[in-house]
Amino acid sequence: MPRRALLPHQRGHQLGKQYLAETLSLSDFEHILAAAEQFFRTWDADNEKRAALGAEQKAHAEAHRHTHIIRVLRFPDTWRISCEDPMIPASVVGIFDAAASIPTASPWFKRLLFPLFIAGAETSVPHQQRFVEMCIGEIKRMTGSQHVAMTEVLGKVWEERSRQVDRSRNLHWMEYTCSVNLVQQHDYLFF
């Protein structure tokens, strides 16, 4: 994904911090998020100046585009939208379709780790969770890194989702990494 396409995502995180620090109003934050969501929903790798990218690179960009859409939808209230709301599964499937189009032997496949993590954390569907396990397992095999924290977080989210009675609210993965309810904050997701 070109740097130009990453700027709205990076800006969203900066503005999220401002919103949490109460230096940015909710209405201003929501307006900016709506613009970022629109950008990511309409961004097309084929229309970019870098349209000469190969199919694997475009699929990689597409996976990240859907990751950004999910992240934008999770602001400012990570609990508001259930993972079963149609907006979330649409991007989860977009990530899976992109991953399925990249051969596992490709160096681009291992770069799908974060999109696959987000897709896995945002689904309650067992066969989709299994697809994430298989893909991340292949990335672990390719890289030699076990990504223990990521695997543990996914396991906790999936276990809690399987017990969740009220599916109208989200169960957010960050509750297991950087929640006010944790004694120690964990910012080490990939290590």
**Is residue 1 in some structural domain?**
no
The answer to whether residue 178 sits within a structural domain is: yes
- Is 74 part of any domain? yes
Instruction: Tell me the pLDDT tens digit for each residue of 45-87.
Output: 666 655 567 899 999 999 999 999 998 998 888 888 999 999 9
Residue tagged 């397992």 (tokens): 137
Report the number of distinct structural domains present in the chain: 1
Tokens coding 44: 């097309």
**In the predicted model, what is the mean pLDDT of the chain?**
84
Q: Is the residue at 81 inside a domain?
A: yes
0.75 exceeded by pTM? yes
Binned at pLDDT 50, 70 and 90, residue 190 comes out as: very low
pLDDT at 14: 79
CA-to-CA separations, 34 to 41, 75, 76, 132, 158, in angstroms, rounded:
10, 10, 11, 29, 29
Asked if residue 181 belongs to a domain, the reply is yes
The domain of 39 spans: 6-189
In a domain, 97, yes or no: yes
Residue 104 within any structural domain of the chain: yes
Q: Say how far apart CA 186 and CA 174 lie, in whole Å.
A: 9
Is 55 part of any domain?
yes
